[in-house]
Structure 1
């Protein structure tokens, strides 16, 4: 896990560390006054909750490579984050002049390689993978590489950028470890430094496990907080598993369990109704997610129904970035490696940057920027 937990000496140090993707919690054995730690954490959280800054991504690149056929292989179209990215790809593809065919693995391990084979049979010029794990999919990706078909992914590895050991030229994502840190720090700030936490993750995906490990490390570094446990629940089976998992955790921890952190909002879609059925008041449990920013998450935050935050992905923007990275590959160039800054959505800022439409869509003019790069109307 990258650069765990350096000393958190002052708020300025925290802000610099967050901006540079450095760790923001104290190293094991480091003594930091609880008051100073909480004040510094609050500055990081407040910075992440600011409205979208002006566009700081690429402004130059190849013009549109027209008439391309692209296959999208989605891990699971029941996942709101994946759907949001696919919609962004479709929107951008229409602008750039490509045709797109979508293939859905349905979150089923046995179907992933078959779905890739079906996508290959459609004879695409390029492959976009949305969700999944690039290394686990490697046997299905090699035939694309053998045919020199470029591959771009979204959330297919633990870090943004090219995925080593695979033919994936670019994994589009925010910095997952920074996403995890901000999520855990937000819980610590909201609790006044006394959160008692359960973390939900899916060990089938490296990006999910990396987020969970980082959230756990941040919670452990908070002297007044308690990490009750990390619970491994397959995202693809969350509808079946989360209701009984939530009931079991309530039975085990009772009112000690005050904060639920998760690597994806989808866990809370099935946990929140159980809490309501159990008669738990909204103020008794706070849910924060390290990823996606689904419509249901925005609704829960807006209505005060347990969820108090989500580090929302700019899903539509990411879809446009995926298309731009693919266009660069079609033109024979390299990828940008651009990583969009982390953004925390709370009740205090939910109306901004697309929140009125139940999504995080930064008001920074990214569509116009990409149109100019591609020289498209």
Structure 2
């Protein structure tokens, strides 16, 4: 059984390596030594931590369709990832010549459909959803589809691309499965294959549950690691719930808990102070997040305060991509299949690609490329 487990572990690692464009070797038989598994995991993590690759996204497309009015419905503007994407949309919209109105759901279920109704009442030419779950929002999205108003979103489904069964033409995100795998593998590498892991997720969102499930699977595949618990905490209530949850988990697991993984950096905003109050040295607990690369996460990584990594998404770039995808729909064209490669931010690389500004902003010239596509100065 142990040999089979290790074989599956290597398959998982190699699948991530292939997704990252890294050459892989065939399996030398049906079992793989733990040290070989760790070596492969380290290779994958090292590739994900490299500086941003040259631009491999679209270089052609329709020119700007100016004068459009676009509504943004944000899941919760207290979330740094959502704010970063909205800022990117606003920056790109100014370049392309659109007006934008923002509607904030505040992370409140009762407000989500109301904000969509308010957005519809503003008579937009297009709708951008930032956060939320496209299928859960479907009753509020149908009126947009009935009026032939194009819809794109960020983190609104478990996979990038068009969202089946909904009118969302494009869900922009980094592949959540690869984000989750790299996050979990980084924890395993840092622990030398002996991590005691608690995973924080929000089961209200498909993408969050997808990430958590994948991280849990990777941890289980590590023969020397222990998955202590998957803890469900609503992101919108993290400020309220995380301090108590952290104290409970510390009491339950003690020194067995060495690594905290989460689907979003915001959980650590409220867990880290509890660890400090408990007198825990930063070296005793490592926090790694499968998104989104918030300012506070960058500060913790830079200071060496518990958090050792975040698989940061290029939030500003994703905002520009949302505008480009919408522009293609306005022009009667199809969306792209562009997906930004996974990038792990650590203390070693935090100064590169926007890290000095506390964000991941790839130095690949994407702004100038989109300007050329849109034929805008």
TM-score by length of 2: 0.95
Q: Is the 8 A contact 2:282 2:306 kept in 1?
A: yes
Could you tell me which residue of structure 2 aligns to residue 193 of structure 1? 193
Once the two structures are superposed, what CA deviation does each residue of 1:329-366 show, in whole Å capped at 9, x if it has no partner? Answer: 00000000211000000000000000000000000000
Distance 1:160 1:307 in 2: 27
- The equivalent residue for 1:374 is 374
Distance 1:228 1:83 in 2: 32
Matched positions, count:
369
Mapped partners of 1:326, 1:368: distance in 2: 18
Tell me the residue number matched to 1:105: 105
Q: Which residue is equivalent to 1:285?
A: 285
What residue ranges of structure 1 are gaps of 5+ in the alignment? none
SS across alignment from 2:107: coil
Partner of 2:18: 17
Moved over 2 A (4+): 4-21
Residues 19-51 of structure 1 show CA distances to partners (whole Å, capped at 9, x for unaligned) of 369xx9x9xxx7431100000000000000000
Following superposition of structure 1 onto structure 2, how do residues 121-132 of structure 1 map, counting pairs within 5 Å? 121-132=121-132
| Distance in 2 between residues matched to 1:12 and 1:177, nearest whole Å | 12
Q: Counterparts of 1:33 and 1:139 in 2: how far apart (Å)?
A: 51
State how 1:171-210 maps to structure 2 within 5 Å: 171-210=171-210
3-state SS of paired residue (2:20): helix
- 2:21 & 2:349 partners in 1: Cα distance? 24
Are positions 1:360 and 2:339 aligned together?
no
Distance 1:330 1:183, change over 3 A: same
Structure 1 residue 10, shift from structure 2 partner: 8.9
Counterpart position of 2:240:
240
Give the Cα separation in 2 of the matches to 1:196 and 1:13. Answer: 23
Map Cα deviations across residues 127-178 of structure 1 (whole Å, 9 max, x no partner). Answer: 0000000000000000000000000000000000000000000000000000
The answer to whether the 8 A contact 2:6-2:34 is kept is no
Kept in 2: contact 1:70–1:100 (CA 8 A): yes
1:303 match: 303
Distance 2:151 2:293 in 1: 25
Which residue does 1:41 correspond to in 2? 41
SS state at 1:84 partner: helix
Aligned partner of 1:58 in structure 2 is: 58
Q: Indicate if the aligned counterparts of 2:7 and 2:31 stay in contact, CA closer than 8 A.
A: no
| Residues in 2 aligned to 1:176 and 1:11: alpha-carbon distance in whole angstroms | 15
State the match for 1:146 in structure 2: 146
1:345 is paired with a residue of what secondary structure? coil
Deviation for aligned residue 1:255: 1.0
- Taking the TM superposition and a 5 Å limit, the aligned residue runs for 1:329-340 are 329-340=329-340
Instruction: Specify whether residues 237 and 66 from structure 1 end up closer, same or farther in structure 2 by C-alpha distance, changes over 3 A only.
Output: same
CA distance in 2, matches of 1:342, 1:93: 25
Cα pair distance change 1:9/1:102, threshold 3 Å:
closer
Shift in Å at residue 5 of structure 1? 10
Give, in whole Å, the separation in 2 of the partners of 1:159 and 1:14.
17
The residue matched to 2:322 in structure 1 has which SS? Answer: helix
Contact 1:14 1:40 in 2 (8 A): no
Q: Is the 8 A contact 2:20 2:342 kept in 1?
A: no
In structure 1, distance between residues paired with 2:183 and 2:12: 17
User: Would the aligned equivalents of 1:178 and 1:342 in 2 still touch at CA under 8 Å?
Assistant: yes
Deviations 1:286-324 (A, max 9, x none): 000001100000000000000000000000000000000
| Cα distance in 1 for residues equivalent to 2:17 and 2:234 | 35
Q: Is the 8 A contact 1:282 1:305 kept in 2?
A: yes
Measure, in 2, the Cα distance between the counterparts of 1:146 and 1:308: 47
Residues 311 and 196 of structure 1, relative CA distance in 2, 3 Å threshold: same
Deviations 1:195-237 (A, max 9, x none): 0000000000000000000000000000000000000000000
Contact 1:10 1:40 (8 Å CA) reproduced? no
| Contact 1:201–1:263 (CA under 8 A) maintained in structure 2 | yes
